[in-house]
Amino acid sequence: MAEITAPRGVKDVLPGESWKWAYVLDQFRTLAEGFGFSEVHLPIFEHTELFCRGIGDTTDVVEKEMYTFEDRAGRSLTLRPEATASMVRSYLENRMASGPQPVKLWCAGPMFRYERPQKGRYRQFWQLDVEVLGSVNPLVDVEIIELSLELYRRLGMANLEVVVNSVGCPACRPAYRKALQDYLRPHLGELCGSCKSRFDRNPLRILDCKNETCKALTEGAPDVMDSLCDECRDHFAAVRKRLDLLGASTRIDKRLVRGLDYYTKTAYEVLSGDLGAQNAVCGGGRYDNLAESIGGPHVPGVGFASGIERIVLTMEQQGCSFGREPSTDVYVIAVDGAASDEAVKLLYALRRQGLRAEMDYQGRSVKAQLKTASQAAFACFLGSDEVARSVVAVKEMATGNQEELLFDGAAAAIRSKLARQEDRRP
């Protein structure tokens, strides 16, 4: 029988990498909580309608990339391709509008999109997500952008570029849409197949098409900034002013329209110079009409999502630190069979002290066990002689120093030694 492998585009995050993910998640959690955000756990599948209406029927995500299935009762469900629509659904359904505003939430977890897999692009990927709901204040946009930048600073990431744009609002976007269509109409025949079909349904998306001909054709396209209404223009100016004040260097990119329809006003991305084609580590912006499009009242919102895989890839490429890789604190070796009961007792006494303690379960030779122990901070040896005298031999692997400790209390003494060793670490 053929061995079953994982589906295309998904990846196992194995122990050699999962500790790096844990580090990124920890840093993100600490930072988000520090900025006043609270964690929510959202479902991984939702009614398909939520994404069709929330993200937009004519977006690539909804048209081509959703994992949609019917449950046993014939309901159409979809594995979430992103978290924002779910977050807004949850805000509405749980009546969060009745409490103090804005509501600041974060979540982290897997998202699913049927995209062509390549470096940095998977069909199941993890996003770190923050959303602020219930405020129109441009300072909230700034808070979101700053939170992402502070995360990358803390992770030691460099070579990043912050691009911002305003995609307008329902009051001013139709005029821009028309200006763009008027500009592109004479060149309709030259656009790529996807853009031809976008022309009527979603012409703004033509601006971020990666096809070289489309790119060249949109080079001289009308600037969205010229079409913004006063409210959108003032909002964008306020966001930029505060970002400048905080020293965040941003570039305006009039092509930045983002793939999801719900954006209004601010749109932004953080790009990594070390990722190749899939270079966005983070994308976000304001979505003041999303709540209405899924049947709720008007609730302004702004947020970002950042892919963990791309963060870790960038950090690895740039040699950033992920903190310390977890390793064994104490390796317990029963030198002869007579000591095996005491060795097991010591193993669990060490673990009760919160230490990462291990012993051999495979009947390997003492020499082989010593080799494994060389990776640990301490090795403990127990033979019939030690058992008879109620002691344990403890070796500090870094220095080779060895001493005997009374068996009772040995675990606590080793924990103190480890703490001192930690203190000496640079």
Residue at token pair 């002689």: 385
Smallest distance, ligand AMP to C-beta of residue 216, A:
25
Please, what is the minimum distance in Å from the beta carbon of residue 283 to ligand AMP? 3
**Largest Cα–Cα distance of the chain, in whole Å?**
94
168 vs 283, beta carbon nearer ligand AMP: 283
235 binds ligand AMP (CB under 6 A): no
Closest CA to 160 of 281, 74, 56: 281
What mask, x for binding ligand AMP by CB under 6 A, covers residues 57 to 96? Answer: -------------------------x--------------
Pair of tokens at residue 425 = 């670490």
205 or 395: CB nearest ligand AMP: 205
Task: Name 137's Cβ contacts closer than 8 Å, sequence gap at least 6.
Answer: none
In the shown chain, the binding pattern of residues 395 to 424 toward ligand AMP, with x for contact by CB under 6 A and - for none, equals ------------------------------
Residue 267 CB, shortest distance to ligand AMP, in Å, is: 10
Residue 37 or 122: the one with the smaller Cβ distance to ligand AMP is 122
Size of the site for ligand AMP (CB under 6 A): 18
The token duo for 331 is: 């390796």
Residue type, 219: E
In whole angstroms, what is the distance from residue 237 CA to residue 243 CA?
A: 10
What single DSSP character describes residue 362? S
In order of 37, 136, 307, the CA distances from 31 in angstroms are: 9, 23, 16
| Residue 314 binding ligand AMP, by CB under 6 A | no
Give, to the nearest 10 degrees, the angle between helix 48-55 and helix 84-93.
110
Secondary structure letter of residue 121 according to DSSP: B
| From 54, 102, 134, 283, residue interacting with ligand AMP (rule: CB under 6 A) | 283
Are residues 48 and 77 in contact, defined by beta-carbon separation less than 8 angstroms?
yes
From 180, 305, 392, 394, residue interacting with ligand AMP (rule: CB under 6 A): 305
* CB-nearer residue toward ligand AMP: 60 or 143: 60
Rule CB under 6 A: is residue 54 a binding residue for ligand AMP?
no
The nearest distance, CB 314 to ligand AMP, in angstroms, is 10
Residue 33 CA neighbour count, 13 Å, CB half = 8
259 in contact with ligand AMP (CB under 6 A): yes
Place of tokens 């609270």: 38
Q: Contacting ligand AMP (CB under 6 A), which of 141, 274, 309, 342?
A: 309
Our CB check for ligand AMP shows the closer of 127 and 202 to be: 127
For residues 119 to 148, the per-residue mask of contacts with ligand AMP, x marking binding by CB under 6 A and - elsewhere, is -xxx--x-x---------------------
Q: Which is nearer to ligand AMP, 120 or 134 (CB)?
A: 120
Q: Which is nearer to ligand AMP, 314 or 353 (CB)?
A: 314
- What own/partner pairs with CB < 8 Å and gap ≥ 24 does 375-378 have? 375/327, 375/328, 375/331, 376/327, 376/328, 376/329, 376/330, 376/331, 377/327, 377/328, 377/329, 377/330, 377/418, 377/421, 378/329, 378/330, 378/331, 378/414, 378/417, 378/418
Told to check if 113 binds ligand AMP by CB under 6 A, we report yes
CB contact burial 289-323 (16+ within 10 A = b; e otherwise): bbbebbeeeebbbbbbbbbbbbbbbbbeebebebe
Q: Of the two residues 103 and 282, which places its CB atom closer to ligand AMP in the complex?
A: 282
Nearer to ligand AMP, 265 or 310 (CB): 310
By CB under 6 A, is residue 253 in contact with ligand AMP? no
Closest residue to ligand AMP, based on beta-carbon distance: 307
- Chain residues that interact with ligand AMP, rule: CB under 6 A: 82, 113, 115, 120-122, 125, 127, 259, 280-283, 305-307, 309-310
